[in-house]
Amino acid sequence: MKQKMTFNPTFKQTFQLNLKMQKSLDFLKLSENDIHAMVRSLLQTNPFIEINEKKEDSFYYLENIAQKHTLKEELYFQLTMLKQEYDYDIISYLIESLDNKGFLNLSKEQYMYDLNINNDIFDKHLNILQSLEPIGVGAFDCFDSICLQLKHKGLNTSYKIMKESKDLILSKNYTAISKKYHITKYQVNQIYEDIRLCEPFPCEQYNNENDSIIIPDIEIIIENNDIIIQPYNDFSFYINEDLYELVKDNHQMKDYFRDAHFFLDNLTKRNHTILMVANTLVNIQRSHFLYNDELVSCTLDEVAEQCHYHVSTISRTINSKYYMFHNEIYPLKNLLVSKSASGDSSDAIKKAMKDLIDNEDKKNPLSDQEIVEALKDIDLYCSRRVINKYRKKMGIPASPQRKIK
């Protein structure tokens, strides 16, 4: 006679199950940086989780870049990649003398005296330091930093005028600059635009202790007019079943084994859900990726309906997730565009852009990029190129031409 085994869950068992379901949902909330931190911890504490040897270098490489490094650490690392010869003591002295803005805090003469070197040797090592990233590091002040950036970008005319005529640039004497260099006022405007696009303090990012490098969840690639969506990382973790066979009678090892399965199962579900949602979003915004068209209206409800998920699941999936496209990283939620009572998304963007320009400070008009950032605050998303295209269609001049002197 066969016996029938029945299972009557107790309150404790039901509670544990609900807790696991909740934890499963929590996996969707985690960013890729959070996942990396969790994996790093588990690799150190759980004996059953292992990483595929072929993927190990990739994992620890991303771990390395995701960690916050100081400016000086970054500079020393870049030095190890240089092929040209240099005196380590000299370059190290320069790096260690940088202030918190990344600027040299002594005069050229003082450095030459302290290091007991001549002008040529100093210039050689200064050029090496200033060739490192971020461009502008190793300058003597913010003005010098902007000059370095203009030179690096190949903006030779702007660099020459900035270097030779600091007082005229600072006083915004358009007429004097135009006469001295035999250029039009429009060209002078362009020089100021070149300068505006430079960072006066390019090393400021290293002073933000809360800053970290974002690891994207997916990468979007265009090949032969096809859109390919793939996980940005392809790490392969597995559970060491052979080890479990040796220690399965140990209760603590059983707990570790269950935790390992729970983690990998939910990581797989998380990644699958992200890919499904991303695929739906990218399909809706297909023209944006293929032809750089403006983003079309796309809401959480629409994505949830197409994916057959609850809206809250879509929200968890999109939050704190990022995609890489053309080597730039963007929030996945940027692909959501609110519907507007004034019409479709392009109409809403045009109307909002016109309102922003109509109400801007005429002495300091908004650039196209500043308009892009302002539109984000009202949940309208588009690229600078789209703003440029709409502005021209609407007969609105660029910011230098809108400026009232």
Phi, psi torsion values for 230, nearest 5 degrees:
-145, 155
For residue 206, is pLDDT > 80?
no
Q: Return the pLDDT at 19.
A: 42
pLDDT at 229 over 90: yes
Choose between 4 and 389: higher pLDDT. Answer: 389
- Band the pLDDT of 162: cuts 50, 70, 90: very high
pLDDT value, residue 1 = 30
pLDDT of residue 67: 52
Helix or strand holding residue 227 (H, E) = strand 226-231
pLDDT of 262 over the 60 cut: yes
Q: Report percent pLDDT > 90 for the chain.
A: 27
At residue 68, the pLDDT reads 56
Question: Using 50, 70 and 90 to split pLDDT, how confident is the model at 146?
Answer: very high
What is the model's pLDDT at position 34? 78
Instruction: Give the DSSP letter of residue 319.
Output: T
CB 270 within 8 A of CB 309: no
Give the residue-averaged pLDDT of 368-395: 84
Q: Taking 70 as the threshold, does the pLDDT of residue 338 lie above it?
A: no
Mean pLDDT of the chain: 81
Distance separating alpha carbons of residues 388 and 391, to the nearest angstrom: 5
Place 172 in a pLDDT band, splitting at 50, 70 and 90: confident
- 8 A C-beta contact, residue 284 and residue 335: yes
Strand-pair category, 322-325 with 226-231: unpaired
> What order of strands is seen across the sheet that includes strand 226-231?
226-231, 218-223, 322-325, 328-331
Residue 116: its pLDDT value, please?
92
| The one-letter amino acid at 53 | E
Supply the pLDDT for residue 13: 32
CATH of domain 345-402: 1.10.10.60
Given this model, what pLDDT does residue 69 score? 65
DSSP for 62-125, please give it: HHHHHS---HHHHHHHHHTT--S---HHHHHHHHHTB-TTS-B-S-HHHHHHHHT--HHHHHHH
Q: Is the pLDDT of residue 205 over 70?
A: yes
Residues 150, 172: Cα–Cα separation, whole Å: 18
Q: Would you say the pTM of this structure is higher than 0.85?
A: no
CA distance 90 to 339: 59
| Predicted pLDDT of residue 401 | 85
pLDDT of residue 234: 62
pLDDT at 12: 33
> 104: pLDDT confidence band, cut at 50, 70 and 90?
very high
pLDDT (0 to 100) of residue 208? 57
Q: Which of 25-29, 72-76, 122-126, 187-191 has the lowest mean pLDDT?
A: 25-29
Question: Which tokens belong to 230?
Answer: 């793939």
Domain edges within the chain: 24-67+213-337, 71-207, 345-402
Report the pLDDT value the prediction gives residue 66, as an integer from 0 to 100: 47
Give the pLDDT of residue 53.
55
Least trusted range by pLDDT, from 188-192, 325-329, 334-338: 334-338
The strand ranges marked E within 5-75 are 49-51
Q: What percentage of the chain exceeds 70 in pLDDT?
A: 84
